[in-house]
């Protein structure tokens, strides 16, 4: 699939008010985001201004700290001609008991869009329900859609296609695993997940992703065997074993996932031209070795950069 074929759709209005989950999008809408992301990236590299959101303001609510999410959204809205307003938990009355509904209604009077990075998916959904402006899910414990749309952009840049590719995810069946299943299913890319017993992805997410996969023709495989998952993979992906908020489980999780490290031995089972991806931050020496994350197969910094370009496309399509 040539994403340039979707460029014309990127010039039209987006059919969704919010971006809460990739599951909510059609395949065409995913391609629409990726196509515009590629176009905006090319313009950035060429020094061509693209003030698609001139005069618009994005409120950025952070109940979880971040490096990539904050910087990419803040720089992204600036490059689109708008302004990003950082709002931590300490800055909002949410931290003192104001309801999400009241906060949503008030912020809708001031802002043109909201990005929220928080814990509960329901909080994001409630914020979107009561807001009259677009809401973007910057991360929850359940899903990480902006990251995966950026990942798909990176895969396309490296492989120039989706159909016929296989992505292997090794490790905890967390929010990244969930959104990767949705993302791969939308673009007809196979995905195999290897997760330890007790750390499998959410059953409802798996069911929904498999429904998407049936429509696109992709396949979802879930196993406890990392070797089975990575066999013949074009893309190998992993994430930290203990995410933010799970620090108390670190030792228990290390023990459960000690055989799920992406290392040189496991890598031999992937295709010779496979790429390595990680949403970062990485715990080097745990879920991945230095030889892999710093090796020629690693695409992690291209992937991190593409947060900026994919999210600019998301903001432009939702807020323009």
Could you tell me where the beta strands, DSSP code E, fall in 134-247?
135-139, 166-170, 190-194, 220-223, 235-238
For the question of residue 96 being annotated catalytic, the response is: no
93 annotated as ligand-binding: yes
For the question of residue 144 being annotated catalytic, the response is: yes
Cis peptide before 281 (omega within 30 of 0): yes
For the question of residue 253 being annotated catalytic, the response is: no
Catalytic residue among 23, 70, 144, 253: 144
319 annotated as ligand-binding: no
For the question of residue 195 being annotated catalytic, the response is: no
66 annotated as ligand-binding: yes
223 annotated as ligand-binding: no
Q: What is the DSSP letter of 89?
A: G
Q: Which residues does 25 contact at the CB level (< 8 Å), separation at least 6?
A: 16, 19, 33, 186
Q: Which of 114, 28, 35, 98 is nearest to 315 (CA)?
A: 114
For the question of residue 307 being annotated catalytic, the response is: yes
239 annotated as ligand-binding: yes
175 annotated as ligand-binding: yes
Catalytic residue among 18, 188, 212, 239: 239
243 annotated as ligand-binding: yes
CA–CA gap between residue 121 and residue 200 (Å, rounded): 18
CA–CA gap between residue 36 and residue 32 (Å, rounded): 6
216 annotated as ligand-binding: no
89 annotated as ligand-binding: no
CA–CA gap between residue 260 and residue 247 (Å, rounded): 19
Catalytic residue among 63, 147, 261, 311: 147
Catalytic residue among 212, 307, 309, 311: 307
Q: Which of 64, 27, 296 is nearest to 149 (CA)?
A: 27
279 annotated as ligand-binding: yes
Catalytic residue among 23, 70, 117, 309: 117
145 annotated as ligand-binding: yes
Q: Which residues does 163 contact at the CB level (< 8 Å), separation at least 6?
A: 1, 187, 188, 189, 217
| Helix, strand or coil, per DSSP, at residue 68 | helix
For the question of residue 147 being annotated catalytic, the response is: yes
The residue written with tokens 């693209």 in the block is 50
117 annotated as ligand-binding: yes
147 annotated as ligand-binding: yes
Q: Which of 129, 181, 158, 159 is nearest to 22 (CA)?
A: 181
Dig out the tokens for 37 from the structure.
């992301």
Residues forming the annotated binding site for carbamoyl phosphate?
66-69, 93, 117, 144-147, 279-280, 307
Residues forming the annotated binding site for L-ornithine?
175, 239, 243-244
Residues forming the annotated binding site?
66-69, 93, 117, 144-147, 175, 239, 243-244, 279-280, 307
**Which residues are known to be catalytic?**
117, 144, 147, 239, 279, 307
């Amino acid at each position: 699939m040539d994403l340039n074929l979707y460029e014309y759709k990127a010039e039209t209005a987006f059919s969704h008010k919010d971006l809460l989950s990739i599951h909510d999008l059609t395949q065409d809408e995913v391609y629409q985001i990726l196509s515009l992301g590629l176009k905006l990236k090319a313009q950035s590299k060429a020094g061509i201004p693209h003030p698609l959101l001139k005069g618009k303001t994005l409120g950025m609510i952070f109940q979880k700290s971040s490096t990539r999410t904050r910087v990419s959204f803040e720089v992204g809205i600036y490059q689109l001609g708008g302004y990003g307003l950082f709002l931590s938990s300490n800055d909002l009355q949410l931290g003192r008991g104001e309801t999400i509904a009241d906060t949503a209604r008030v912020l809708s009077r001031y802002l043109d869009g909201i990005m929220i990075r928080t814990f509960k998916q329901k909080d994001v959904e409630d914020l979107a329900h009561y807001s009259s402006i677009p809401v973007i899910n910057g991360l929850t414990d359940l899903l990480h859609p902006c990251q995966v749309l950026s990942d798909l952009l990176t895969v396309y840049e490296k492989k120039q296609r989706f159909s016929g590719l296989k992505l292997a995810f090794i490790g905890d069946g967390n929010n990244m695993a969930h959104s990767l299943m949705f993302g791969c299913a939308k673009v007809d890319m196979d995905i195999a997940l290897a997760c330890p017993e007790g750390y499998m992805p959410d059953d409802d997410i798996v069911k929904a992703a498999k429904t998407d996969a049936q429509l696109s023709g992709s396949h979802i495989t879930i196993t406890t065997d990392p070797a089975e998952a990575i066999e013949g993979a074009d893309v190998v992906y992993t994430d930290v074993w203990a995410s933010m908020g799970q620090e108390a489980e670190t030792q228990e999780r290390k023990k459960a996932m000690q055989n799920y490290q992406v290392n040189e031995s496991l890598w031999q089972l992937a295709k010779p031209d496979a790429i390595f991806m990680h949403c970062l931050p990485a715990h080097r020496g745990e879920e991945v070795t230095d030889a892999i994350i710093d090796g020629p197969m690693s695409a992690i910094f291209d992937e991190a950069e593409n947060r900026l370009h994919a999210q600019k496309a998301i903001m432009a399509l939702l807020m323009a």
